[in-house]
Structure 1
Amino acid sequence: MSRVARLALLCGILIGVSVQAPAQEQLPLFDAHMHYNVEAWAVIPAPKVIALWRKVGIRGVLATSRPNDGTLELMAQQAPDIQIVPFLRPYRVQPDRHDWFNSKGVEAYVEKELKRGIYRGIGEFHIFGADADAPYMVSIARLARERGLWLHAHSDEDAVERILRHAPGVKLIWAHTGMSTSMDKVEQMFAQYPNIVGELSYRGDLEENGTLNPRWKQLMLKYPDRFVVGTDTWVTPRWSEVENLAAFYRRMLSALPRDVAERIAYRNGMAMFGLKPAGDSQPK
């Protein structure tokens, strides 16, 4: 091979690398676990939230807040390039997270909020173990199933299984995919309950030696349509980490085939709510 030919081949390889790497890094994201709570409103006003999402390539958001006024304010920004999916969070104030499932005040609040007719799901809520047998939790699960709403549960596997027994077939996003639930149990749950979608924030075992954990990779390849990512801005300082979290997800997903990475990054979230990914000319 001549020197010119070798140079041309090398340039072609370098061009290929330079085109492919940024494309992977610039995966759009659907943030399936976001809170815009009252404490954050003065620190990062809604227009700045929208600007941040644009900067980091978040194109869709499952929006929740405490109280729900935060979600309404984000929707009022009317950003055409960012699709916001509102969920009803059953918390008026922070202490509600501990006993919302036994609170008549919360029950009245949820009933009032549902009358808005805008919510696509209920949560994120916290419930663990036998608390998931509380009559109001049973009612919420059955109401969600009847109305085609999603549940977003921050729960251990025991509570998730109880909820699914109360309302078989209800659609459930499992916040943090159990967070500390063993991989063996996660695999068992995904095999047994096809209506579970795993949200991946705060899973400390996603990466191993700087790349996607092989067990997670295997599970994602087996269930490519059943995982979503999230930032979980549950406290105000977490907003300063959103850009790094976006970079983390893109790095982690780069270990997967492009089509699977796209599904987990944003296509699954969009599909769950019947949204069309921005820039798509046809479904994928």
Structure 2
Amino acid sequence: MLTGNRPDPGLPKEVMMFARPLHRAVLLIVLVGLSLAAHAYEGPLFDAHLHYNPAHADTVAPDGVGPALAGAGIRRAVILARDDELIEAAMRAAPGGIVPFLDVYRPPADKGGWMHDSDLPERMRARLDAGLETGDWRGIGELHLFAEDRHSPVFEALLVMAHERGLPLMIHGDPAVIDRAYEIEPEAVVLWAHAGTFPHPDLIGDYLGRYPNLHADLSMRSERLTGDGFMPLEWQDLLIAHADRFLVGVDTFSATRWREIDAHAEAIRTWLGHLPGDVAARIAFGNAERLFGGGDL
């Protein structure tokens, strides 16, 4: 007989020769069965992290944004935009489908120096006050900020401005930046881009436990979530335990990402399929719908 996973030493040598390969074959069958059982999520997506700027318009014209999203099964999307006219045109062509976030950068180079631009808060205040022809701005970001600059007065001003207006702030930053944000404004709604710069499940879970208004998008994390075809158990545990705090995103930071949006959305659907159905639905669209409202998915 077999004891545990090892062949009984008392078995004949011929039986022992087959025992270990047989164990491997059974394990393989089980793993294949688990893989087949994980069907890709088929419901709608609410993408919480897309960029659409002049550099992307040659690839996807404003009137093509809506069809591109629909083709990827994305019903609604947060789009981070620095060009008011461009996002206006996209919103007119896809009514109700776009949640506009005010991108603070003018040229892309601002990514590294915006936190030292003392005139930035006033410019952002003016743009928020002016709004858009098609509605109001619904959030601010994405702010790239790392630990050494977390005490920037410009960052503090933008965070306070966002909170006072009831707007989420998207931060691409270190854990220390998140701590600083909640020192400044304990009730702020923060979207942590890419689940942070150190996407370790234990660390993310710790921060979600500390700050009830912190949410995290999982853009650029599909490889971690199903890198070998299976979602690691620590990620499964994290997403199930905090099913109301995660959102999905493709992050179209380049024209190439816009061209490949279908494939990136499909990768998201694949890892969502490894979660319980109710959890997958919340992460796929329910949490973003609750945060941003305005649309029946």
TM bracket (short chain) = 0.7 to 0.9
Q: Distance in 1 between matches of 2:245 and 2:252?
A: 22
CA displacement, residues 117-166 of structure 1 (integer Å, 9 cap, x when unaligned): 41111101111113121111111111222221100001111111111111
Q: Decide which of 128, 133, 136 is 2:146's aligned counterpart.
A: 128
CA displacement, residues 75-98 of structure 1 (integer Å, 9 cap, x when unaligned): 121x24x52111111111111111
Q: Distance in 2 between matches of 1:241 and 1:115?
A: 35
Alignment map for 1:194-209 (pairs within 5 Å): 194-203=212-221, 204-209=223-228
Q: Decide which of 126, 129, 144 is 1:115's aligned counterpart.
A: 129
Gaps of 5+ in 2: 1-36
CA contact (8 A) 1:66 1:94 kept: no
1:38 to 2:54 alignment: yes
CA contact (8 A) 1:212 1:253 kept: no
1:173 to 2:191 alignment: yes
Q: 1:268: which partner in 2?
A: 287
Alignment map for 1:43-122 (pairs within 5 Å): 43-77=59-93, 79-80=94-95, 83-117=97-131, 118-122=136-140
Q: Percent identity?
A: 34
Pairwise CA distance, 1:228: 0.4
Letter aligned with residue 123 of structure 1: G
1:212 to 2:216 alignment: no
Q: Distance in 2 between matches of 1:184 and 1:68?
A: 39
Gaps of 5+ in 1: 1-19, 279-284
Letter aligned with residue 55 of structure 2: E
Q: 1:221: which partner in 2?
A: 240
Distance change >3 Å, CA 181–CA 49, structure 1 → 2: same
Q: Distance in 2 between matches of 1:229 and 1:30?
A: 7
Q: Distance in 1 between matches of 2:107 and 2:84?
A: 10
Q: 1:147: which partner in 2?
A: 165
CA displacement, residues 191-240 of structure 1 (integer Å, 9 cap, x when unaligned): 11111111001224222421222111111111111000111111111112
* Secondary structure class of the residue paired with 2:260: helix
CA contact (8 A) 1:267 1:277 kept: no
Letter aligned with residue 138 of structure 1: E
Letter aligned with residue 245 of structure 1: H
Distance change >3 Å, CA 212–CA 70, structure 1 → 2: farther
Letter aligned with residue 80 of structure 2: T
CA contact (8 A) 1:157 1:181 kept: no
Q: Distance in 2 between matches of 1:181 and 1:29?
A: 22
Give the TM-score normalised by the residue count of structure 2: 0.81
Letter aligned with residue 152 of structure 2: A
* Secondary structure class of the residue paired with 1:180: coil
Pairwise CA distance, 1:57: 0.9
Q: 2:45: which partner in 1?
A: 29
Q: Distance in 2 between matches of 1:164 and 1:176?
A: 19
* Secondary structure class of the residue paired with 1:115: helix
Distance change >3 Å, CA 244–CA 147, structure 1 → 2: same
Q: 1:247: which partner in 2?
A: 266
CA displacement, residues 21-74 of structure 1 (integer Å, 9 cap, x when unaligned): 98x542100110000011111221012221111111100111112334432221
Letter aligned with residue 45 of structure 1: A
Larger Rg: 2
User: Aligned residue pairs: how many?
Assistant: 256
Letter aligned with residue 264 of structure 2: L
Letter aligned with residue 251 of structure 2: D
Distance change >3 Å, CA 132–CA 36, structure 1 → 2: same
Q: Say what the alpha-carbon RMSD is for the aligned residues.
A: 1.9
Pairwise CA distance, 1:184: 2.1
Q: Distance in 1 between matches of 2:244 and 2:295?
A: 16
Q: Decide which of 129, 137, 154 is 2:155's aligned counterpart.
A: 137
Letter aligned with residue 94 of structure 1: P
